Structure 1
């Protein structure tokens, strides 16, 4: 993690702006009202104004916070001619979700009727195209998902369209998130709703205003920096939540550069507001805290009163003993019935759905094997054995198609549920079972247990077996992207090239590198050189490949679209995808791995000239 800087002055050029957005959604449809969300946003806005930021307050006290409203507010600040932005802070308080690999979602006022949520990571990437040097994200919202919350079928919306310029490097990123995946945060009620305080926001604001000595840098007297703020939050928030019988463990990933990472101590002198003491726990026993999550007892009660069951909205809670628990992802993947080899040395085994056909490019073929409609080998028409990655559509009996890639020397096992592919694991030809690391990773992905707080070590764990199962490389790339670590994603891409393996499309996409299609029909990218850096954790220190320099390289990409559904939201980044591919995003089902409805699959097959191979 970055250390405190030794510089005393602010390096922000005088002609560049410091802007902030304080978003508070307390009145989201069909969910408990959160007065604390409004209060937190007002408090952050007041601090930003006093600290010299150009700040906007966007809350739903008098009017709902809708996508058009939020977009208009953002575009007004980002408008050409308004001046370059050095630092932008985004604060959000309200209801939220975490989906897949660090796919954070914020719920606006009309989330239920629109079935739409703010895609936090994609919004961050869109801001890259506006020349912003630093982006800070403060989120006081739940990050847990009940087991089948995908039934909500929320569309992840980035709010902003493509920006005016190609990203010039990656902005520095600070992230301070109220709760880890799988947990909720909460608000402590005051004497009136105007006094309700979201616990994380309350602790944060006490620090930002300079009222807490433990939030100050130990190296720079009088300064609060990214790293000192992060250390303070990860210590103080859990301690205060324990007082109320809760467990809130925030995530802090401070990465603003040394000498330009100040939140207090540079700029105008601040006169802090009066913060009342946090009430004793016994005073709150008869007053329920507001829990900022969808599957809280309070929200479930409110839904049932409106005649909407939890099951209808996919809000079943694993804590409810009346809910029949389905088999775990790990158990289902361990039980997959798949061959150990195909003569073509590539293919797929599908369980949970009947396969009607496979679609491949004209120079490849697919055949059902051994009387099994769900075992298919994939090869090349000239040479039989598959020697290059091949895009494949697996057409299911209901007309939906799993959009995936056949890889030389790998057999892919696809687990299907109601809406398509919930899991995909690759294993080398000849191996009896899938990688245990891949099985466990997908199980944790389904349960929302890939911890943002330990993203660096989580990504290292996944990367160790990325050559055994390319899905692991893709998931680790999403984790790195969530903290803006572009260099680590490019190191992953280079490692696949060095191992003579094609780069998973998701990795190439998140690496933000240019691509072109060669005369052989393969997609290739030019991987830039990456400089060496110091290891950030003890685990990184053990593995030099996490921080070593890598040279430039030209490498082959596996397939022409993302393996995971969440990758489609990034397809408008320049360099890798075509506009026609981006248009198919609306045809995706809610499945975790890319699955298209019938019309979307038809258009995709036409776009890439795929041919159908029925059994």
Structure 2
């Protein structure tokens, strides 16, 4: 197999933004570090602008017939992408800003989409290292995946993701001073960890085997500890977010010779053995066979990872919970049950002037407007004159020039909550469904809280199984929980479990949420007055996570189901739309730059809203 590949991208002078000191220098140093071990592609704006087209041409240059040549990316054991420059959060994504500035959707990079697209070229491992801000920013539209997706199915690569700061926070650059060169706080610590052994950056398990190496896990631990200290040295607060995913034996970034300084084989010369007693037997004691040692290391690594993630999960779930999101949805649901006589209704919380767009599936509605709803908020309540036995796709307009589509399911109330901003162009921050017969009882967390945890980057791919358990065991559970679980599964490349969830929706005679269909790569086709989703069979998973429910590993047969929704429910789903599905979806894609930054899909702007409304009115699906 070929050498691993490092792609370094540095943009220090983006249009309309501050010039960033230290960006070019950090990229040069990392590329120099990699030169002996990796093939290196370095792209910066020292002499010319960094554009999507330039990056694409560097990575997939045109062949003699004018088609992109993917050979640079193929047969790589590992691809590392490093970015230094401006960025902002587009939860759960991060957008990297290129030379054209932050307001050009086609000239900014979606880190998640770029990573997913690179995975289609089948490297065994992908590492994304981002030294850029993740602060919130007002924006519209999407960002670019840079590359065309390679055709065919592909394996899910192991992933390391190292963010220089946490969601909603900033990364810092330090200008030149007193003869010292400029530098980036995060990248300076990263380069130190990769350049010389100091004991703290070395993998402790490998030290017991007399190997002095920086691994995925030890690099993560080092960055989490030392970046915050380095930031405090310049009176700043900066904490990393590291998600190491490389597995032994292929988790080494660099191995140092025995004479490179630092502790020898894990022995720092102290008398710790007198305190701890005899050292436990190492892998070398147990087996001289290298494969046996590797298996022992792998098992230990996975045990530690499971224990660490179980502890972290409790913290992530606690941070995802909210004092008002779940209670608000529950209180509105109780009010709807008291006033609608067990008939599905749609509540829009935050405005009493929302309008329903009459369409093919909405024959007649009555609208009540409340200046003060059940929680003291303005509210628009939409009642359906015909008790829906099948799902409807309801278009709503609000805040003068905003539009959203809400699937209305049989036996469920739909509850939307607008963003609380001073901006007239409000989007939807919450969309939940609740049974007309009452709340489902105790839950791990409310779906409105799961949405918060997902869009703010708190939840991880390993949390998907726990959320999916609620879907499987609760008949009338809010479909949003399944949507969030699907995105978490997709972030880990677990397509099979997305398809298992789709099967269970059909099994319980419920529509398959639009997002599940596109994230699971399911075929969708029109059939009379609805869209039908083809769900392929899934084989039983071998060696799955035994900590999750059995249904996340079992085989499921092929089936067909109804599609729930006309477009992705969440903003995060649009990068996965490879083709238009129906006229409404096609028109939305035409106006994708009018997609608001709200987590629930909302389009803004008079021209976009007018065109999308017309497509909805004329559609027969």
Per the TM alignment, residue 527 of structure 1 is displaced from its structure 2 partner at its CA by 4.5
Q: Secondary structure of the equivalent of 1:234?
A: helix
Q: Would the aligned equivalents of 1:514 and 1:575 in 2 still touch at CA under 8 Å?
A: no
Change (3 A) 1:335 1:118: farther
Q: Would the aligned equivalents of 1:96 and 1:104 in 2 still touch at CA under 8 Å?
A: yes
Between 1:497-506 and 1:235-244, the stretch displaced more is: 235-244
Partner of 1:504: 513
Partner of 1:339: 336
Change (3 A) 1:522 1:253: same
Residue in structure 1 matching 2:155, options 169, 173, 178: 169
Residue in structure 1 matching 2:382, options 360, 376, 387: 376
Q: Tell me the distance in 1 between the aligned counterparts of 2:380 and 2:153.
A: 43
1:588 aligns with 2:586: no
Change (3 A) 1:437 1:360: same
TM-score, length basis structure 1: 0.72
Q: Tell me the distance in 2 between the aligned counterparts of 1:457 and 1:54.
A: 32
Q: Tell me the distance in 1 between the aligned counterparts of 2:588 and 2:461.
A: 31
Q: Tell me the distance in 1 between the aligned counterparts of 2:183 and 2:43.
A: 18
Q: Tell me the distance in 1 between the aligned counterparts of 2:551 and 2:245.
A: 17
Partner of 2:97: 107
Residue in structure 2 matching 1:365, options 363, 366, 377: 363
Partner of 2:389: 387
Change (3 A) 1:331 1:239: same
Deviations 1:71-129 (A, max 9, x none): 333333962455724232110112221223x1211122332453653211122223234
Deviations 1:476-529 (A, max 9, x none): 433443444445544544454455433322223222333334456233131452
Change (3 A) 1:455 1:83: closer
Q: Secondary structure of the equivalent of 1:227?
A: helix
Q: Tell me the distance in 1 between the aligned counterparts of 2:381 and 2:581.
A: 35
Q: Would the aligned equivalents of 1:348 and 1:411 in 2 still touch at CA under 8 Å?
A: yes
Partner of 2:302: none
Partner of 1:42: 28
Q: Tell me the distance in 1 between the aligned counterparts of 2:179 and 2:617.
A: 60
Q: Secondary structure of the equivalent of 2:79?
A: strand
Change (3 A) 1:569 1:234: same
Q: Tell me the distance in 1 between the aligned counterparts of 2:468 and 2:415.
A: 20
Change (3 A) 1:69 1:474: same
1:549 aligns with 2:547: no
Change (3 A) 1:506 1:212: farther
Between 1:38-47 and 1:500-509, the stretch displaced more is: 500-509
Partner of 1:65: 50
Partner of 1:355: 354
Q: Secondary structure of the equivalent of 1:339?
A: helix
Q: Tell me the distance in 2 between the aligned counterparts of 1:110 and 1:349.
A: 41
Q: Secondary structure of the equivalent of 1:391?
A: strand
Q: Tell me the distance in 1 between the aligned counterparts of 2:220 and 2:14.
A: 29
- Which residues of 2 match residues 139-150 of structure 1 at below 5 A? 139-145=130-136, 149=137
Change (3 A) 1:445 1:486: closer
Between 1:89-98 and 1:586-595, the stretch displaced more is: 586-595
Q: Tell me the distance in 2 between the aligned counterparts of 1:553 and 1:32.
A: 54
Per the TM alignment, residue 348 of structure 1 is displaced from its structure 2 partner at its CA by 0.9
Partner of 1:3: none
Q: Secondary structure of the equivalent of 1:156?
A: coil
Q: Secondary structure of the equivalent of 1:64?
A: coil
TM-score, length basis structure 2: 0.72
Q: Tell me the distance in 1 between the aligned counterparts of 2:534 and 2:616.
A: 19
Partner of 2:570: 564
Per the TM alignment, residue 367 of structure 1 is displaced from its structure 2 partner at its CA by 0.7
> Which protein is bigger by CA-based radius of gyration?
2
Per the TM alignment, residue 456 of structure 1 is displaced from its structure 2 partner at its CA by 4.2
CA-based RMSD: 4.0
Per the TM alignment, residue 562 of structure 1 is displaced from its structure 2 partner at its CA by 0.6
Partner of 1:215: 201
Partner of 1:230: 220
Q: Would the aligned equivalents of 2:399 and 2:426 in 1 still touch at CA under 8 Å?
A: no
Q: Tell me the distance in 2 between the aligned counterparts of 1:251 and 1:205.
A: 17
Q: Tell me the distance in 1 between the aligned counterparts of 2:568 and 2:21.
A: 40
Q: Tell me the distance in 2 between the aligned counterparts of 1:249 and 1:387.
A: 50
- Which residues of 2 match residues 163-312 of structure 1 at below 5 A? 163-188=149-174, 191=177, 195-217=181-203, 218-219=205-206, 221-241=211-231, 246-265=236-255
Unaligned runs of 5+ in 1: 1-12, 273-326
Q: Would the aligned equivalents of 2:405 and 2:566 in 1 still touch at CA under 8 Å?
A: no
Deviations 1:44-91 (A, max 9, x none): 21122221x221222223333233333333333962455724232110
Between 1:67-76 and 1:399-408, the stretch displaced more is: 67-76
1:403 aligns with 2:405: yes
Per the TM alignment, residue 463 of structure 1 is displaced from its structure 2 partner at its CA by 4.4
Change (3 A) 1:41 1:491: farther
Per the TM alignment, residue 260 of structure 1 is displaced from its structure 2 partner at its CA by 3.3
Q: Would the aligned equivalents of 1:106 and 1:119 in 2 still touch at CA under 8 Å?
A: yes
Partner of 2:532: 523
Highest RCO, 1 vs 2 (Cα 8 Å, sep ≥ 6): 1
Deviations 1:119-146 (A, max 9, x none): 111222232343444321011122232x
Between 1:131-140 and 1:495-504, the stretch displaced more is: 495-504
Partner of 1:426: 433
- In the comparison of the two structures, how many residue pairs are matched? 523
Change (3 A) 1:397 1:39: closer
Q: Tell me the distance in 2 between the aligned counterparts of 1:553 and 1:229.
A: 43
Q: Secondary structure of the equivalent of 1:422?
A: strand
Partner of 2:296: none
Q: Secondary structure of the equivalent of 1:475?
A: helix
Between 1:23-32 and 1:174-183, the stretch displaced more is: 23-32
Deviations 1:254-300 (A, max 9, x none): 3334433332249xx9999xxxxxxxxxxxxxxxxxxxxxxxxxxxx
